[in-house]
Amino acid sequence: MAAPIRPRLLGAVDYGQTFGAMQEFTAARDAATPDELWICEHPPVYTQGLAGKAEHVLNPGSIPVVQSNRGGQVTYHGPGQVVAYPLIDLGRAGYYVKEYVYRIEEAVIRTLAHFGVTGHRVAGSPGIYVRLDDPGSHAALSGPQHPLEPFRGLGKIAALGIKVSRHCTYHGVALNVAMDLEPYSRINPCGYAALRTIDLSTIGVSAGWQEAADVLGRKLVTYLLP
């Protein structure tokens, strides 16, 4: 039987301090260290991934920009967003990074389903998206998206960026619940100028941060177990 993943609810915590704590946890862990799942929210901050390009940060204003070692481009964290950091030993879990990403996305999709929303994957663009005109639609995205507007009709509701060190993961996924979305207009989210970012509140779902955190935490624990 697989060892349980230990959930830790951190509440509102500084991004930089949490980033450092994840690195320290990962560097210190050994084969016997239990996996953990840290759930939190951050004060307003832009984070750049390893591939991040400065031109995608348009007008940060007073919001700090922090360089991170996760994958991907720039994203925003702020109050009203559930951020989940799985600290998983993939060698012990027995699956690879591609499946790990799929499992995280599946946990988000199941979380959205709990709230009556249908989440979609877009090939080549990690994260979860919803139809803006019909967030509850179960119909699959038909065919390839428009080549010049790959996100036409879609809004991104969950961003994903991970780091794997010695087969152990950190960073993770952010689900937008009820946020001030204006800061997203000051960046090209995940490097896409035409990408609209949304939250549950925008599409008519009234859910508190704690409720969304509880559901996402349960789904991640379920879907990340071997």
So which residues are the catalytic ones? 190
Q: What single string gives the DSSP state of each residue in 169-208?
A: EEEEEEEESS---GGGGGB-GGG-TT-EE--TTTTT----
| C-alpha distance from residue 197 to each of 13, 26, 81 (Å) | 23, 31, 12
Outline where DSSP puts E strands in the chain: 6-12, 36-41, 45-48, 65-67, 75-77, 81-87, 120-122, 125-131, 154-165, 168-176, 196-197
User: Could you count the other beta carbons within 10 Å of the beta carbon of residue 198?
Assistant: 19
CA 116 – CA 47 distance, rounded (Å): 30
List all residues 6 or more positions away from 43 whose beta carbon is below 8 Å from its beta carbon: 12, 14, 15, 78, 79
Do 137 and 43 form a contact (C-beta atoms < 8 A)? Answer: no
